[in-house]
Amino acid sequence: MEINLEKYRYLKDGIPVTYKNEKGEIIRNKKIKVYDFDEPAQNDFLAVQQLWVEGKSKRKRISRTWWVLSMASRCYLSS
């Protein structure tokens, strides 16, 4: 149950990341938003009936899933 709450918080509040800015300074614990809840039209939605996922040792088929493509198409940092 704890891991579900952790993942829920990542989706709701953002994922903490560490990166170097343009000046070469290390920025820690800045949050990347997964979904844009303030402007939902900025998210791209995709529904698929089948999705094949290939890992190092296996290939699996996932049936009927929804993707919200916000982070993949445009990452933005929260203030």
- Positions in the chain short of pLDDT 50: 71-79
* Every domain of the chain and the residues it spans: 2-69
pLDDT value at residue 49: 72
Task: Output the six-digit token pair for 38.
Answer: 């303030």
pTM beyond 0.75: no
Of 48, 22, 26, 34, give the one whose Cα is nearest residue 77: 34
pLDDT value at residue 70: 54
